[in-house]
Structure 1
């Protein structure tokens, strides 16, 4: 098996990689987490999905590839330049709602429907507002985080934050979790009750 043999890369993906270099974006999502998200999302027809941390839209491209026509995706980032880049690349995408907001403020105020999958790729929903975001996962839904293995761009002391987050997730009685020492370090939690 060759995991690097990825046959279904989103058409826009190479352009997004070029844009990353152009703007000097140094925290792009790993291609493997993208294809993994696509696979999980494909299991949820008519799904509702949330991405916290739009970034350069690399994972977003994969998530959209996995969605059926009746699904919806909200992607949030606090950087307006990144949201505008996403709007440029996905301007024709009616299933997508892009929001420029601070996730720490948006999450406690959100009163809409729950989600079939939440990908928390930013501080909010991962290291802050964790309880709020986990309440937004439907029973049978996924909560996915990456970058849980030590990264070269981590600030001093962040390893403790990651370890503490894992301990909190392990103690949750309404989720079952799998920790994968793969890609950048992935945790998948499924809400069971």
Structure 2
């Protein structure tokens, strides 16, 4: 559904949105593509971010409101940043949305709302993340190291949660990660692994390997290697392989080596694939990696979209 856009100016720069909470309920606006979102939009050249948040709350929700505190920087699934301001209503009742949007008052601290890409960032900034949705401590440490060093190639939150679930399905499994980075993927795997499972993870950059080794040094289930990922395949067979380095993930010629390193019933996980609706023109003629996986005679494959911008390919070695 397309709603009226009262601020169509192409000169808008940046984005602002509003967090309006009343009696434990949060105000959300209908989005054009369906579902709900925090009221927000582009910042006009003649206004500051706080003014934009107040204006958007009015245009999208019919809310007369004022800023009450400091903003939180949010990152959308597409990577766009927004400045989110806390607002309070200065008029007790909402008026009909000038843009014609329905509104909803939801509880932001329970599922599914607490896991919304916007809401979970505000809750985390406020220290209000529900315990069952909070990051495992080692994952938080790995993320903090990435933020400090500017290394942003660790797996996403959505992929991390999937890795934790898959690891938990192999309680005594032998797991392999190709491309340790700073340890984000490894810490998610360890969060799901049983006491008797083992994880081998390899990184070709010596500094990153050292950082990950220090992070994981107190967990006897994990071993961090520095070197060529292909050499670790000899340590198999593995119950799960998370291929998180480009040569293992994108070079179809290496696929047989990965399959041979899996146990029958073992799972190969490849992340960071672009959903079909967002594929660039270079892939309009097809994706060789997807073709190789789905066409492999010893694999049973499925593609899972974990966020608006990312798919994961799962492939199980057939007996």
TM-score category (smaller protein): 0.7 to 0.9
Distance 1:88 1:111, change over 3 A: closer
Q: Which moved more, 1:1-10 or 1:53-62?
A: 1-10
How many Å apart are 1:8 and its aligned residue? 5.4
RMSD: 2.4
- The superposition leaves residues 43-98 of structure 1 with CA deviations (integer Å, 9 ceiling, x where unpaired) of 11210000001012111111001111111110011011111111111111111111
How many Å apart are 1:101 and its aligned residue? 0.6
> Which residue in 1 is equivalent to 2:245?
122
Distance 1:176 1:145 in 2: 14
> Which residue in 1 is equivalent to 2:291?
167
| Unmatched runs of 5 consecutive residues or more in structure 1 | 151-155
Distance 1:112 1:25 in 2: 28
Q: 1:81-120 to 2 correspondence within 5 Å?
A: 81-104=207-230, 106-107=231-232, 110-120=233-243
- The superposition leaves residues 89-134 of structure 1 with CA deviations (integer Å, 9 ceiling, x where unpaired) of 1111111111111224x25xx4333111000010232223221111
Is 2:165 the partner of 1:39? yes
How many Å apart are 1:40 and its aligned residue? 0.8
> Which residue in 1 is equivalent to 2:69?
none
Higher strand share: 2
SS in structure 2 at match of 1:182: strand
TM-score (norm. length: structure 2): 0.54
SS in structure 2 at match of 1:138: strand
> Which residue in 2 is equivalent to 1:153?
none
Is 2:205 the partner of 1:79? yes
CA contact (8 A) 1:143 1:190 kept: yes
Q: Which moved more, 1:11-20 or 1:165-174?
A: 11-20
- The number of residues matched between the two structures is 185
| Unmatched runs of 5 consecutive residues or more in structure 2 | 1-110, 121-131, 276-280
Of the three residues 250, 259, 263, the one matched with 1:134 is 259
> Which residue in 1 is equivalent to 2:138?
12
SS in structure 2 at match of 1:28: coil
> Which residue in 1 is equivalent to 2:177?
51
> Which residue in 1 is equivalent to 2:314?
188
Bigger Cα Rg: 2
SS in structure 1 at match of 2:258: helix
Higher relative contact order (CA 8 A, sep 6+): 1
CA contact (8 A) 1:38 1:65 kept: yes
